[in-house]
Structure 1
């Protein structure tokens, strides 16, 4: 396969990523990590067993920060422990971290686009003179691991940046998470709402969409689709858009309704849909601008409107059943769909990493069908809908 030539970041197609969330785990709590199930196994013990090497490396880092006894981590480094576990479980934090690799990748590529070889060499020499402040892992050694993993610390690469890279990246990439009941969670002082706010605070390209329910009379209510972000200067959550809905959101199936109400808040020429059981890699994020160039090439008499992307499911290591389900997805979503696309030319759509031509689908009713019972599996109907129209 010939990969399309990658343009400069400033000239690439802008895109968004959309993830659906209802009331699943955002970040494991202390109680969840310690509570044992009927078999006497806690989540933390299970993760320590599955990721034995990762746990040893984590504890080694903690001991460098003056953790003598293992029990001390529950008091002095609880946030780091919760993040370590959440990044290895099926949580929203893990998916958001993976998708935010796009932001980091675009910043690095924007720097390379505008830098001369001499600039890079001078930057490397400056990094060598930084000394003890920057460790071998490229992060400031005085910053806590939680800040490192969330991208809040100053990495060695950030020392090379000229200042415009962040703006270019934010222009080309937006990440929207459709947290349908986030407004209700805030009203109830739910811990999930606090964790979502913490997530927005440490990911500047992240936006959260939710449905706000407002009482206007005794029995009357108004519904609004709201988009919020965390303002780093004001140090608080701010509303970007507030769009009134005609009525209650959930008339059809819940997941596609959530998807269609939030798609209006995406930006750019393309939108990638991601499930909460999916992750991403920095190396894959580097190739996104190559992928988007496929929209400019004709395949037959038309340009493509849906680009198939391989699905990376991280829950395959949980159990033998999860491994089987993951292998089934690899067979059907990746291998089978490629055959349907070429040479059969009959592929519609299946798989949530797929990238949609945003303008085509916004003008054709969205990317999901929501009728109850009829459209239970909303995914495949995106391709049917576009073909029939």
Structure 2
């Protein structure tokens, strides 16, 4: 009740009655953090020395800062994306190194594979597939699955064995959207002759399900006189 006898709702009161405000307030980590932020806002001064002199650097920083507050459209679902393939130039490709050649270390303890990874960090084409798998997981996963994360379903053997499991669905969507085609014209000849280089190519396709190998093979084609071998792609 106010002084004139009217009933006042407490949620619309602008001032608390005497004795309701506690000061100093009980100490807590959240309160200390707020006090520290307020102190920094009142005491820290911007220096002109921190501003880049290069006009292009200023423009890029301003553009990046403004982009943090833009309304970004939602990414399309993986199922609605266009399928695409990554192709290599079509030459007479040859398998230059076996897995053993890549992993064996020289006198300095450095392997060819380690050297290539240091020269070309994070340039693996198979990251396209992993990115699509993760995005497909975010599209179709339920709240419980999102809380566990994609790594949880990768390590879950029951998920991997299930025909319509979440892991299998993510794999299927990625297969429909991405294919990596590498040309190796000699693969057919090497496969028929039992060449070890054919096993290296097969191991690559086994480890990474997305790659497809384009090669020239020969088949027997009967005609009137005799059977002849013709090349096919």
Q: TM-score, normalised by structure 1?
A: 0.32
Show the 5 A alignment for 1:40-59: 44-46=106-108, 48-49=109-110
Does 2:125 correspond to 1:99?
A: yes
Secondary structure at 1:44 match in 2: coil
Gaps of 5+ in 1: 35-42, 50-84, 128-137, 139-153, 226-389
Deviation of residue 205 (structure 1)?
Answer: 1.7
Relative to structure 1, the CA distance from residue 23 to residue 203 in structure 2 (aligned partners, 3 Å threshold; closer, same or farther) is: same
Distance 2:93 2:130 in 1: 27
Q: Counterpart of 2:141?
A: 115
How far the C-alpha of 1:117 sits from its partner, in A, is 3.9
Please show how residues 236-385 of structure 1 align to structure 2 within 5 Å: none
Q: CA deviation at 1:201?
A: 1.5
Alignment of 1:152-163 (within 5 A): 154-155=154-155, 162=166, 163=168
Give 1:212 deviation, angstroms: 0.7
| CA distance, structure 2, for counterparts of residue 214 and residue 159 of structure 1 | 42
Alignment partners' CA distance in 2, 1:219 and 1:89: 49
- The correspondence for 1:13, drawn from 72, 75, 82, is 82
Partner of 2:170: 165
> 2-side partners of 1:159 and 1:215: how far apart?
45
Q: What SS class does the counterpart of residue 13 from structure 1 fall into?
A: coil
1:61 counterpart residue number: none
Alignment partners' CA distance in 1, 2:88 and 2:115 = 17
Is 1:22 matched with 2:93? yes
Match of 1:208 in 2: 213
CA gap of 1:208–1:88, structure 2 versus 1, over 3 A, is: same
Please point out which of 220, 225, 231 is paired with 1:223: 231
Q: Is the 8 A contact 1:28 1:86 kept in 2?
A: no
Bigger relative contact order, structure 1 or 2 (CA pairs below 8 A, ≥6 apart): 1
**Cα distance change, pair 119–186 in 1 and its aligned pair in 2 (3 A):** closer
Give the whole-Å Cα distance in 2 for the aligned partners of 1:164 and 1:214. 37
Q: Distance in 1 between matches of 2:86 and 2:208?
A: 14
Structure 2 distance, partners of 1:89, 1:172, is: 32
Aligned partners of 1:205, 1:104: CA distance in 2, in Å?
Answer: 10
Once the two structures are superposed, what CA deviation does each residue of 1:293-329 show, in whole Å capped at 9, x if it has no partner? xxxxxxxxxxxxxxxxxxxxxxxxxxxxxxxxxxxxx
3-state DSSP of counterpart to 2:213: strand
SS for the counterpart of 1:17 is strand
How far apart are 1:111 and its partner, in Å? 0.6
* Structure 2 CA distance for partners of 1:24 and 1:195, relative to 1, 3 Å: closer
Partner of 2:182: 177
Are the equivalent residues in 1 in contact too, given 2:103–2:113 (CA < 8 A)?
no
How much has 1:6 moved relative to structure 2? 2.9
Alignment partners' CA distance in 1, 2:174 and 2:216: 28
Name the TM-score, length of structure 2 as normaliser: 0.50
- How far residue 28 of structure 1 moved from its aligned partner, in angstroms, is 3.7
Distance 1:26 1:112, change over 3 A: farther
Pair 155,44 (structure 1): closer, same or farther in 2 beyond 3 Å: farther
In 2, Cα distance between equivalents of 1:209 and 1:222? 16
CA gap of 1:211–1:106, structure 2 versus 1, over 3 A, is: same
Separation of aligned partners in 2, 1:155 and 1:44: 35
